[in-house]
Structure 1
């Protein structure tokens, strides 16, 4: 099984790609995690969009920000893999692609994320370190994590 990775600025996304990305984010964050929150936060236009396609379907996605948009450092957000494909470890691949893209596109090595608390060990395995205390973001426990 081979996933094909692409990275695009917001205005370079096709309507079909944007629809598939928003659908994937909605399926996981709103439906699966039962979280009503403002996914369309006005920041998509400021992000680079990294997505993985398998059999012509977008199955993995993250959005990447330059320093100062979300955090002082560059950041990765909306990290999502469609449920049927999580067993393939594409979440790890997605994060490795995201980290490399931030370094390549923004020239940054320090990255901050707002991680769902249950994924803390996963992000630690990628070199992120937790900072501060747990906090609720949209009623889901999160923790700030930074990778140097």
Structure 2
């Protein structure tokens, strides 16, 4: 099984891959985590947004998006399929995100249980825990390296 990382804009995704990305986000965030939220918020369509997609034998097994908020980059919608967890796939996503962000400041809202994972990439908690759609999160940021 070969894993490859695809970094692209939404306009460059094939219709099938785009469908699989949104299906995976729905499966994990809405169904598995029981968190109904407006996933299609328009940010995927921004010309500066980069979607990072992990493919194993052309099947989407993970994805995230990297947004340009002007004063900083923002990482979001980080997700790995249940069958792919525990194999380092989230690290592959984050490695690519860090490459895309370069020396810019970066922010993300981490699910509270994942702060140690993001700390490995230089992220620090920057505010109090908050409830986002029924799941506890904390704001985190990485200053310019």
Which TM-score band (shorter chain)? over 0.9
Structure 1 residue 13, shift from structure 2 partner: 1.1
- 1:29 is matched with 29
Cα displacement (A) at 1:26: 0.5
Q: Which structure 2 residues correspond to residues 121-132 of structure 1 after superposition, within 5 A? A: 121-132=116-127
Q: Which residue is equivalent to 1:137?
A: 132
User: Which position in structure 1 is the counterpart of 2:74?
Assistant: 75
C-alpha separation in 2, matches of 1:115 and 1:122: 9
Q: TM-score, normalised by structure 1?
A: 0.90
Q: Determine the C-alpha separation between the residues in 1 that align with 2:106 and 2:137.
A: 16
Q: Which runs of 4+ in 1 moved over 3 A?
A: none
Q: Which runs of 5+ in 1 are unaligned?
A: none
Equivalent residue for 2:114?
A: 119
**CA displacement, residues 39-64 of structure 1 (integer Å, 9 cap, x when unaligned):** 11111101211101001101110111
Q: Name the Cα RMSD after superposition.
A: 1.2
SS of the residue 1:118 aligns to: helix
* Structure 2 unaligned regions, length at least 5: none
Q: Match of 1:136, SS?
A: strand
Which residue of 2 is the match for residue 94 of structure 1?
A: 93
Listed one character per residue, the Cα deviations across residues 46-101 of structure 1 (whole Å, up to 9, x for unaligned) are 12111010011011101111133xxx410110001111111211111111111112
Partner of 2:85, secondary structure, is helix
Superposed counterparts of 1:25-64, under 5 Å: 25-46=25-46, 47-64=49-66
Deviates more, 1:14-23 or 1:1-10: 1-10
Paired with 1:82 and 1:33, the residues of 2 have a C-alpha distance of 12
